[in-house]
Copies of this chain bind each other. A is one copy, B any other.
């Protein structure tokens, strides 16, 4: 029923191979035949059958993307970057959500891998060894997660945490609380580590609290602990935690930033909608997505391509931080 290559060939009075070439290797075809073929293609409304093409080339023309949680406003931006670039490169994206569950992620990886030319794994929760193994079977690019030997687009998490601590220190805060993220998260560990080093360097005392789930609820539940430590400034793993924390604290009647300064991480959309608007760290999420596609294309073409520098983070100062006292 659909128009096939053979139909075009017949109509243009050439062989199927010529039509195929005119479409995939225009330079290998005489200009006059080429235009004739291309015209018939247009007239007949021919659309190549991707399955047939894949079958022979081994390429699918799509890439797979796995994110831990689409509901986390962090990821849609990365995805937007990925899809934008992929679209420009005439690639389709298969997007899947692992729900932050390593088992689900493994499963998705297995089902996606054979259907795509390569995979972009955002904030993967899989153990390094498993990632390395998977990378042997398919082309993989990591986002916001590093693994020796694997291609990755990373963020300067440590540097961001440093900026946060220095900012608080500059405002006069000496004792600074830290609500770390999930210990399984690579970026969480980097952020904590960066904060630790920065505190040591600038003469602040870092009070590390228990790790919290990286969510609004996680932040709410951490409020009591923060209060107990008596710190005057606190840095959280991400914005969701910061906002949950502020929310609960406001309920307690704690004035922010007068009594406590709060710094988030990621600058998700809601950061500026919070009350008070949240001081946080921003990095170019869309660019991260675009870059990841670029890296993946390199991998697919078998080019070497060294890992680029981590993407820079930038402090965005809003109303949730102020001078101590």
Contact = CB atoms under 8 A, between A and B. Distances in A.
A243 interface: yes
A162 to B, nearest CB: 28
Interface in A15-36: none
Interface in A24-51: 47, 49-51
Interface string A165-201: 0000000000000000000000000000000000000
A153 B67 CA distance: 26
A211 to B, nearest CB: 21
Interface in A85-131: 92-97, 111-112, 114-115
B216 A269 contact: yes
Contact of A93 (B47, B79, B94): B94
Contacts of A79: 70, 97
B93 A273 contact: no
Contacts of A216: 269, 273
A115 B275 CA distance: 45
A68 to B, nearest CB: 12
Contact of A114 (B50, B93, B96, B270): B50
A229 interface: no
A67 to B, nearest CB: 10
A247 interface: yes
A77 B96 CA distance: 13
Contacts of A95: 93-95
Interface residues of A, number: 37
Nearest to A114: B47
A276 to B, nearest CB: 9
A55 B2 CA distance: 13
Interface in A55-80: 55, 60, 62, 70-71, 73, 76-77, 79-80
A244 B273 CA distance: 7
A274 interface: yes
A54 interface: yes
Contacts of A49: 55, 114
Nearest to A56: B51
12 contacts: A62-B94, A70-B70, A70-B76, A70-B80, A71-B73, A73-B73, A92-B112, A93-B94, A216-B269, A243-B273, A250-B275, A275-B275
Given A80-B97, A95-B95, 11 more contacts: A49-B114, A50-B115, A51-B51, A51-B54, A71-B77, A73-B73, A76-B76, A92-B94, A93-B94, A216-B273, A273-B274
Closest 8 CB pairs of A and B: A51-B54, A70-B76, A95-B95, A51-B55, A275-B275, A71-B76, A51-B51, A270-B270
